[in-house]
Amino acid sequence: MFFSKKIVTMSLESAKKIASRQAVEDYLANNTIVGIGSGSTIVYAVEKISEIVKNLNWNIKCVPTSFQAKQLIHKHNLDLTDLETNPELDICFDGADEVDENLNLIKGGGGCLLQEKIVASCAKTLVIVADYSKDSTYLGEKYKKGIPLEVVPMCYSPILKKIQKRFGGTVSLRMAQAKAGPVVTDNGNFILDWFVFDKKLDWEKINLEIIQMPGIVETGLFINMAAKAYFGLVDGSVKTRKKPELTFK
């Protein structure tokens, strides 16, 4: 049992790495402003960015989406900047908890959804890097930890009840693992995890309705934001998915 689990973990890490490196090779360009996402997969993307910058002496400036991303930028001696200095980004590399067939995403498993969405919204192109376990036909097919909702602490209980009453499912306050009490985001907010998945749900409509509730800061639903996703596969290859082209009749 232990040996089998180790093989799966190694395969996932390898898949994250090959997807990240391929995406950076395809999209990174000299003299650009780059958004740096959060999570375990983005570590490999930053490593590849650093490698290219060092070898080619490229001018790349990086905007972090979290404390973790900022530390990665410092660790690899990349140029750190922010949205105040550079409000428009050329590209953003980020991970995802799940990606559906239309490139809609669930993000926020690591608690950085607000800053991730802000940075992604400022980028001309959002590129997602992930392993094969994040590739789904519909949201909730594989990811079973709920949809993250960042909320102002004083209203987490009313929001929890409103979500359950309006849309069904169950909502829970995310609790910290290494300390007593709830998880607190980089922005000082709480996170609710909403467990409701149905193939027929209109996520774009639901996202717009939830975001209008007073007290909701942001949702982990990233709808119509990603341009392309890279999935590292078990066999060492990389699968990609592009945003569907709009057609007009």
Per-residue pLDDT tens over the stretch 19-38: 999 999 999 999 999 999 99
Structural domain that includes position 86: 2-134+224-233
CATH number at 188 reads 3.30.70.260
Give a yes or no: residue 245 inside a domain. Answer: no
Rounded to the nearest angstrom, the gap between the alpha carbon of residue 235 and the centroid of all alpha carbons in its chain is 24
Give a yes or no: residue 103 inside a domain. Answer: yes
Burial annotation 46-81 (CB, 10 A radius, 16+ → b, else e):
bbbbbebbeeeeeebbbbbbbebbbebbeebebeeb
Whether 126 and 228 map to the same domain: the answer is: yes
Residue 7 clears pLDDT 70, i.e. is over it: no
75 confidence band (pLDDT: 50, 70, 90): very high
Per-residue pLDDT tens over the stretch 208-246: 999 999 999 999 999 999 999 999 999 999 999 998 765
Give a yes or no: residue 73 inside a domain. Answer: yes
Q: Which pLDDT value is given to residue 196?
A: 86
Q: Which pLDDT value is given to residue 102?
A: 94
Supply the mean pLDDT for the chain: 92
What is d(CA 112, CA 5) in angstroms, rounded to the nearest whole number? 28
Q: Which pLDDT value is given to residue 245?
A: 66
Q: Which pLDDT value is given to residue 220?
A: 97
The residue assigned the tokens 């499912």 is 169
Report residue 96: phi and psi, to 5°.
-160, 155
Residues classed as catalytic: 116
248 confidence band (pLDDT: 50, 70, 90): very low
Q: Which pLDDT value is given to residue 11?
A: 79
Residue 249 clears pLDDT 80, i.e. is over it: no
Whether 127 and 159 map to the same domain: the answer is: no
CATH number at 112 reads 3.40.50.1360
Per-residue pLDDT tens over the stretch 79-113: 999 999 999 999 999 999 999 999 999 999 999 99
Residue 114 clears pLDDT 80, i.e. is over it: yes
Whether 61 and 99 map to the same domain: the answer is: yes
Whether 79 and 52 map to the same domain: the answer is: yes
Give a yes or no: residue 7 inside a domain. Answer: yes
This prediction has a pTM of: 0.91
Query: Which of 20, 157, 26 minimizes the C-alpha distance to 94?
Result: 20
Helix, strand, coil share (%) of the chain residues, nearest 5: 35, 25, 40
3 confidence band (pLDDT: 50, 70, 90): very low
> Is 152 within 8 Å of 184 (Cβ atoms)?
no
Whether 7 and 122 map to the same domain: the answer is: yes
Give a yes or no: residue 247 inside a domain. Answer: no
Per-residue pLDDT tens over the stretch 156-182: 999 999 999 999 999 999 998 877 889
Total domains in the chain come to: 2
Cα atoms in the 13 Å half-sphere on the side-chain side of 168: 4
Read off the DSSP letter of residue 6. Answer: H
Whether 105 and 25 map to the same domain: the answer is: yes
Percent of the chain with pLDDT over 90: 88
Whether 81 and 125 map to the same domain: the answer is: yes
Give a yes or no: residue 240 inside a domain. Answer: no
Whether 152 and 112 map to the same domain: the answer is: no
Give a yes or no: residue 239 inside a domain. Answer: no
Mean pLDDT on 50-60: 98
Whether 85 and 177 map to the same domain: the answer is: no
